[in-house]
């Protein structure tokens, strides 16, 4: 193998790795959105803003008591769960029962919630960029592989690697929770048929609070995991909300396994597209994949849309 | 339109005479922005409120209108400036609407809403990256045609009047009934022989035309645009929805009222609160959705309608459903 070819392969594999690691985080964001969509049948357009809240909690804990971002997961997850459940209980559920001309009042309500969250963050923390400067932010692990006589050197960004691992662990925990526990079964039953679930004695309202809380906690985890490698600013939520629904549509609305696939596809698409096509259009690839999937595979890449 | 013409003529006359009496540029600026947002709200309402196709991506048309005018002027076509370059913006938006409608109207409900949003974001990224034509993030700057705000005031007043009148006429015509039928039940409308895809597209085209005209006006008036301003998701696309909801979707005057309140509230909060002034607007939206789900004008009409409906002994919700 020529050194040029080895270089090409090295770049390609490196880009795929970066895409996969990013995809792990995206999956976490998509899982939360998909869960909410599956049970409540609404698109949560405040999803990115919830992530932003988690990032600011992580930032506060780090700058005030110097808590490690990964440790602060133990604060962020319960906090976001409570915020999410409260939003569902006091704002979204009351709107579900109201008749209105526009069919998507709950969705617009989440837009309003997102606006309040991001502007509150701006009032409290100002619009400046903040960061969580952990010592290992740019730590990289190298791995040399011998391919056909040429050495290919691959690098893994440490925080992304940890984030990927935690994302997988949380994803697995979610699957176990949904599959094996009573509450998990209740959530799946509510997603399948709300009325039938209610007849079976499930308190579907309570299930919606739990579901929104879980969704918020998952995207909150993604926010905390991103904090060491990303800048945070009050408007960061918007782009991530877009990513969340792209992932959800890719995976099939409300399809949880699909959300993982959608996250990985988006991560890979952005990573490959920005290297091989154009960096400026990085964010456009997601949208283009999104529109194409909507038109040709409206039920998502996996072709079914149930939890 | 109000039943008594006085209710329409007197405010219109007052608005027409206003710049002759008060020439405070700040107040004129607020009024000009309000009227521009009236056009945007009323235009969005035709598609979202009356036809039931909630678009999260109307910034696409606003931005296209603005950029069409800006690019024409930049390439040395002074004709595009001032009032009749506005048509170019509107027509560019209609061309885009045909394309977007062709793609997005295969989809329904939230799928349509989100694909409109996605296409609008793609356009923003194109405007940001296609530097040869759009100047990228630097934006396009030119000297406004008139030094006097009064001229823009009358232009936008005329545009707003034409927009409201056109949409009023459309909704009184057969076309308007098609739109309502599509909103109420697309399958039933289809089975009655309404070509729903075609009429959704017609609704989108009319809506896009006025949105594009407003975008073109914005370019002329402000003299500067960049992709982040005119293709903004939360400040244009979402705000058009919120303005409509605030006043009342599917009412003629609701979006106009919503637009005025929006400009007034955001200005008061920008001046007195400063950063994060949209917090209040977000809270307002939440309150409106919780307590007046059909907006201010919608709730007033509903209160009136409930009195009439009581005679036939049905719950108004069931009548609506």
Residue B316 has pLDDT above 60, yes or no: no
Residues A281-289, mean pLDDT to the nearest whole number? 79
Is the pLDDT confidence value at A305 over 70?
Answer: no
Is the pLDDT at B223 greater than 60? The verdict is yes
Q: Do B119 and A287 touch (CB under 8 A)?
A: yes
Select the more confidently predicted residue: A285 or B42: B42
pLDDT value of residue A83 = 95
Whole-number percent of chain B with pLDDT over 70? 89
The strand pairing partners of A144, in sequence order, are A153
Residues of B in contact with A127 (CB under 8 A): 275
- Residue B83 pLDDT level (bands cut at 50, 70, 90): low
What chain A residue is nearest to B244 in terms of C-alpha separation?
A102
Residue B289 pLDDT grade (very low, low, confident, very high; cuts 50, 70, 90): confident
- To the nearest whole Å, the CA of B266 is away from the closest chain A CA by 13
Interface mutation target, options B234, B291, B294, chain A, most CBs of A under 10 Å: B234
Residue A269 near chain B (CB below 8 Å): no
Nearest CA in chain B to A41: B110
Segment of A2-6, A233-237, B34-38, B83-87 carrying the highest mean pLDDT: B34-38
Q: Which residues pair with A156 in a beta bridge?
A: A141
For residue range A186-215, what is the model confidence (pLDDT) as tens digits? 998 888 888 888 898 888 889 999 999 999
pLDDT, residue B319, reads 37
Q: How far is CA A25 from CA A86, A174, B91, B154, B203, in A?
A: 25, 15, 42, 52, 40
Residues of B in contact with A245 (CB under 8 A): 114
Would you say residue A303 has pLDDT above 70? no
User: For residues A141-150, b (16+ Cβ closer than 10 Å) or e, as one string?
Assistant: eeeeeeeeeb
Closest Cα in chain A, distance from residue B10 (Å)? 31
pLDDT given at position B312: 41
Q: Do A283 and B118 touch (CB under 8 A)?
A: no
- Interface test mutation site (partner A, options B286, B302, B321, max chain A beta carbons within 10 A): B286
- Per the CB < 8 A criterion, the answer to whether B22 and B147 are in contact is no
Residue A211 confidence (pLDDT): 92
Token pair 């056109």 is at which residue? B166
Task: Give the pLDDT of residue B4.
Answer: 66
Q: Mind telling me how many Å the CA of A176 is from chain B's nearest CA?
A: 30
CB count within 10 Å of CB A127 equals 13
Distance from CA of A119 to the nearest CA of B (A): 4
Q: Check residue B310 and give its pLDDT.
A: 42
Query: B221 near B152, Cβ under 8 Å?
Result: yes
* B318, pLDDT greater than 50: no
Q: Does residue B23 surpass a pLDDT of 80?
A: no
Q: Higher pLDDT residue, B85 or A199?
A: A199
Span of A27-31, A258-262, A275-279, B218-222 with lowest mean pLDDT: A275-279
In terms of DSSP H, where are the helices of B140-293?
A: 149-172, 174-184, 186-191, 196-222, 227-230, 238-247, 254-272, 278-291
Instruction: Note the pLDDT of residue B317.
Output: 41
**For A236-253, how does the pLDDT look when each residue is reduced to its tens digit (9 = 90+)?**
888 898 888 888 888 877
Residue A29 distance to chain B (closest CA, Å): 18
Question: Cβ–Cβ of A249/B114 closer than 8 Å?
Answer: yes
- The beta-carbon neighbor of A112 closest among B49, B250, B289 is B289
> What's phi and psi for A156, nearest 5 deg?
-125, 125
**Tokens for B168?**
């009023």
Query: Which range has the top average pLDDT, A34-48, A137-151, B153-167, B218-232?
Result: B153-167
How far is the C-alpha of A117 from the C-alpha of A105, rounded, in Å? 18
Task: Provide, as residue numbers in chain B, all residues whose Cβ is less than 8 Å from the Cβ of A96.
Answer: none
Tokens of B296: 């201010």
By three-state DSSP, how is residue A142 classified?
Answer: strand
In percent, the amount of chain A with pLDDT more than 90 equals 27
Q: Which of residues A95 and A48 earns the better pLDDT score?
A: A48
Asked if this assembly's ipTM is beyond 0.95, the reply is no
Provide mean pLDDT across the span B89-116. 84
Cβ atoms of residues A283 and A230 within 8 Å: no
pLDDT tens per residue across span B128-178 = 888 888 888 888 887 777 778 888 888 899 999 999 999 999 999 999 999
d(CA B62, nearest CA chain A) in Å? 19
Whether pLDDT at A100 is above 90: no
The pLDDT score that the predictor gives to residue B81 is 56
Cβ–Cβ below 8 Å for B281 and A120: no
Q: Which of A71-75, A283-287, B63-67, B74-78 has the lowest mean pLDDT?
A: B74-78
Looking at residue B315, its pLDDT comes to 39
Distance CA(A198)–CA(B298), nearest Å, equals 33
Q: Which of B49-53, B146-150, B194-198 has the lowest mean pLDDT?
A: B146-150
Contact check, Cβ <8 Å, B276/A119: yes
Domain boundaries, chain B: 22-233
3-state secondary structure of A155: strand
Say yes or no: A246 contacts chain B, CB-CB below 8 A. Answer: yes
- Range A129-151 average pLDDT: 79
Chain B CA closest to residue A114: B282
Higher pLDDT, B249 or A283: B249
């Amino acid at each position: 193998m020529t050194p040029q070819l080895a270089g090409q392969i090295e770049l390609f594999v490196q880009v795929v790795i970066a895409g996969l690691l990013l995809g792990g985080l995206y999956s976490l964001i998509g899982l939360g959105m998909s869960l909410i969509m599956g049970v409540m049948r609404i698109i949560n357009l405040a999803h990115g803003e919830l992530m932003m809240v988690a990032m600011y909690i992580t930032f506060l804990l780090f700058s005030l008591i110097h808590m490690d971002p990964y440790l602060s997961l133990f604060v962020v997850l319960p906090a976001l769960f409570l915020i999410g459940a409260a939003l569902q209980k006091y704002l979204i559920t009351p709107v579900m029962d109201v008749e209105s001309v526009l069919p998507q009042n709950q969705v617009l309500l989440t837009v309003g919630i997102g606006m309040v969250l991001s502007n509150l963050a701006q009032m409290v923390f100002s619009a400046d960029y903040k960061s969580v400067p952990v010592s290992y932010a740019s730590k990289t692990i190298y791995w040399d592989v011998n391919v056909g006589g040429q050495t290919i050197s691959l690098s893994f960004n440490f925080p992304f690697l940890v984030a990927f691992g935690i994302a997988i662990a949380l994803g697995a925990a979610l699957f176990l929770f949904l599959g094996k526990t009573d509450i998990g079964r209740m959530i799946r039953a509510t997603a399948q048929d709300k009325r039938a679930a209610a007849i079976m004695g499930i308190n579907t309202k309570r299930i919606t609070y739990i579901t929104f809380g879980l969704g918020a906690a998952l995207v909150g985890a993604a926010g905390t995991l991103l904090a060491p490698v990303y800048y945070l600013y009050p408007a960061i939520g918007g782009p991530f909300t877009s990513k969340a629904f792209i992932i959800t549509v890719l995976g099939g609305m409300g399809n949880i396994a699909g959300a993982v696939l959608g996250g990985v596809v988006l991560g890979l698409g952005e990573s490959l597209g920005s290297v091989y096509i154009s960096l400026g259009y990085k964010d456009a690839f997601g949208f283009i994949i999104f529109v194409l999937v909507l038109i040709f595979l409206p039920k998502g890449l996996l072709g079914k849309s149930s939890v | 339109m109000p039943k008594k013409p006085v209710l329409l003529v007197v405010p219109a006359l007052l608005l027409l005479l206003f710049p002759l009496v008060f020439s405070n540029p700040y107040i004129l600026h607020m009024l000009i922005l309000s009227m521009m947002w009236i056009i945007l709200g009323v235009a969005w309402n035709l598609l979202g409120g009356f036809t039931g196709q909630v678009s999260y991506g109307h910034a696409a048309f606003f931005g296209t209108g603005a950029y069409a005018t800006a690019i024409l002027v930049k390439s040395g076509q002074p004709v595009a400036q001032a009032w009749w370059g506005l048509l170019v913006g509107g027509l560019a938006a209609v061309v885009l609407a045909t394309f977007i409608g062709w793609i997005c109207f295969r989809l329904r409900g939230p799928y349509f809403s989100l694909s409109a949003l996605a296409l609008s974001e793609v356009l923003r990224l194109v405007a940001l990256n296609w530097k040869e034509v759009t100047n990228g993030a630097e934006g396009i700057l030119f000297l406004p045609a008139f030094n006097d705000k009064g001229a823009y005031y009358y232009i936008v007043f005329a545009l707003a009047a034409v927009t409201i009148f056109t949409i009023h006429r459309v909704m009184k015509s057969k076309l308007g009934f098609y739109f309502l039928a599509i909103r109420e039940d697309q399958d039933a409308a289809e089975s009655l022989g309404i070509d729903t895809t075609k009429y959704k597209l017609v609704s989108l085209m009319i809506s896009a035309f006025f949105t594009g005209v407003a975008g073109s006006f914005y370019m002329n008036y402000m003299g500067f645009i960049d992709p982040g301003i005119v293709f903004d998701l939360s400040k244009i696309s979402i705000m058009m929805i919120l303005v409509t909801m605030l006043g009342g979707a599917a009412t003629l005057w609701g979006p106009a009222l919503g637009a005025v309140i929006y400009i007034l509230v955001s200005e008061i909060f920008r001046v007195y609160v400063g950063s994060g002034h949209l917090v209040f607007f977000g809270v307002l939206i939440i309150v409106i959705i919780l307590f007046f789900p059909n907006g201010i004008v919608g709730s007033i009409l509903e209160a009136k309608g409930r009195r009439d409906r009581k005679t036939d002994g049905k719950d108004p919700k069931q009548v609506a459903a």
